[in-house]
Amino acid sequence: SFRNGDFQGRLFKWTNYLHGWQERYLILKNGFLNYYKSEVDIGLGCRGALSVKQALIQSHEFDECRFDIRVGDSVWYLRAHSPEDRERWIQALEDHKQLCKSESGYGSETSL
Amino acid sequence: TAVSATGNHNALVGEKHRLSAEIERIVQGHLKYKYEDVSDGWDLIHQEGEMKVYRREVEENGLVLDPMKIFHTIKGVTGHEICHYFWEFQYRMEWETTLDSTKIIEVLDPQTVVFYQVHKRVWPAAQRDSCFWSHIRSFTSSDEDQPTWLVVNYTTSHLLAPIKSPQVRIVANVALICETVINEPPLNPKDIKRENIECKLTYVAFVNPGGWVPSAALRSVAKREYPRFLKRFSSYVLEQTRDKPILF
């Protein structure tokens, strides 16, 4: 059932003041959003992950490609390639979040 | 840095010197300790705006050894800037109001110096002095994130700083750990403005003033002085950096 909520693709992710926005490969799966340097690097392990269950997904007020994902103190700033792409991502994230909440135990410590 | 070598008796062997191993151990200890939860055994003793001061009451043989942990967020400065002003010698007397004097007695490497300081006497207590190494560094948990900056001050003994009675030696282990958060990053990183940055600071201190001081008096002074020091120091850094380019 969870497989339906999976989503993946390329987004620009804010890194730091030196490297700014960098294109990364993101995979939404099993209650987590993981990011990789590129599709080729997936086998090397993910560079970071956020739990989607508690995440707050916010689209940017002025920039039609941007959206933020917040979990507690950590924030990922993301940019899609187009406004339509952004909508697809936000929809997928919200759907995934609902799935996490409906499937008891998912996204909690018991799941892995 | 404005530090100049005070002699060659500290001859560097590669990047190592006599205190390298100790510094590494203490720094790693602070990094591990920083992430330890404050929900268990810690009391929130003071809260003011973004600042939260926690304390754990620890006494050994009637001697107060309370560790303190302070969290603060300062808007408009980076972690590098906060640590820079905390570590660099030339600014110290501008924000530190509790000293009679401070001097560098040894330079161990470009990131580590040994200080000797004489503290203002608080009558009727004996005068205090301190001797400690002070180390600054930055590191990244991943190349995707902003670097974290850290300064550690740790008591040491030194031939150039013998203990002279009736002066009493302060024992301290203090760490200032700073992370920079960039809110609302612009499309071009060059357009980051001070209003978009904030520094998340953790200040950890184990300080014993030496000699004998009544526990109650010591605890009330600590409760008052740590927030006061952090407010004074952070407003000093804000003032110094306001019109300067951002030092990331």
Consecutive 10-residue runs of chain B (248 residues): their mean pLDDT? 41 73 95 82 93 92 88 97 97 95 97 97 89 95 84 97 94 95 92 96 93 88 93 97 95
Q: How far apart are the C-alpha atoms of B141 and B136, rounded to whole Å?
A: 17
What pLDDT, on a 0 to 100 scale, did the predictor assign at position B62? Answer: 79
Q: Any chain B CB within 8 A of the CB of A20? A: yes
Tell me which chain A residues have a C-beta less than 8 angstroms from the C-beta of B188.
20
pTM of the model: 0.86
What pLDDT, on a 0 to 100 scale, did the predictor assign at position B7? Answer: 41
pLDDT exceeds cutoff 80 at A28: yes
B183 vs chain A: nearest CA distance in angstroms? 9
- How many of the other CB atoms lie within 10 Å of CB of B144? 17
CB contact under 8 Å between B182 and A15, yes or no, is no
pLDDT exceeds cutoff 90 at A95: yes
- Average pLDDT score, chain A: 88
Give the H or E element holding residue A96. helix A83-102
Q: CA geometry: angle at A74 spanning A33 and B185, to 5°?
A: 100
Q: Per-residue pLDDT tens for A32-51?
A: 999 999 999 898 888 899 99
Beta strand pairing call for B63-64 and B112-119: unpaired
Helices B79-87 and B215-241: crossing angle in degrees, nearest 10, is 120
Residues of B with CB under 8 A from a CB of A: 142-147, 181-182, 185, 187-189, 192, 248
**Quick check: helix, strand or coil at residue B1?**
coil
pLDDT exceeds cutoff 70 at A109: no
Chain B interface mutation, best of A11, A13, A17, A78, highest count of B Cβ atoms under 10 Å = A17
Q: How far apart are the C-alpha atoms of B228 and B232, rounded to whole Å?
A: 6
What pLDDT, on a 0 to 100 scale, did the predictor assign at position B125? Answer: 85
Banded pLDDT at A112 (limits 50, 70, 90): very low
What pLDDT, on a 0 to 100 scale, did the predictor assign at position A85? Answer: 97
pLDDT exceeds cutoff 50 at A110: no
Q: Any chain B CB within 8 A of the CB of A14? A: yes
Phi, psi of B229, deg, nearest 5: -60, -45
CA-wise closest residue to B105 among B6, B4, B2, B3:
B6
The DSSP secondary-structure symbol of B16 reads B
What pLDDT, on a 0 to 100 scale, did the predictor assign at position A4? Answer: 67
Phi, psi of A43, deg, nearest 5: -65, -20
Q: How far apart are the C-alpha atoms of B71 and B51, rounded to whole Å?
A: 6
CB contact under 8 Å between A16 and B147, yes or no, is yes
CB contact under 8 Å between B146 and A17, yes or no, is yes
